[in-house]
Amino acid sequence: MTDERDQSRQRVVRVPGSRRAKLTPVPGTDVDPEAVDKSQAEPAPRPSGGPNDERMLRDVPPHY
């Protein structure tokens, strides 16, 4: 029972030269869920401009 459960759990793996660790993928899951076929992806709609957009793009914060 423990062998079966241990194989379905993620493990923490050290990454040499990095401060962060990495998790191993669980069997049966998608390793790269963010990957999307670009030929089927629709472009994101551009938001319509508001009345203050032009001024906001030209405005510079005081600490610049």
Q: Which range, 14-23, 33-42, 46-55, has the best average confidence (pLDDT)?
A: 14-23
Chain-wide mean pLDDT for the chain? 77
pLDDT of 60:
82
3-state secondary structure the chain: CHHHHHHCCCCEEECCCCCCEEECCCCCCCCCCCCCCCCCCCCCCCCCCCCCHHHHHHCCCCCC
Give the global pTM: 0.35
pLDDT of 16:
92
Q: Where are the beta strands (DSSP E) in the chain?
A: 12-14, 21-23
DSSP, collapsed to helix, strand or coil, labels residue 32 as coil
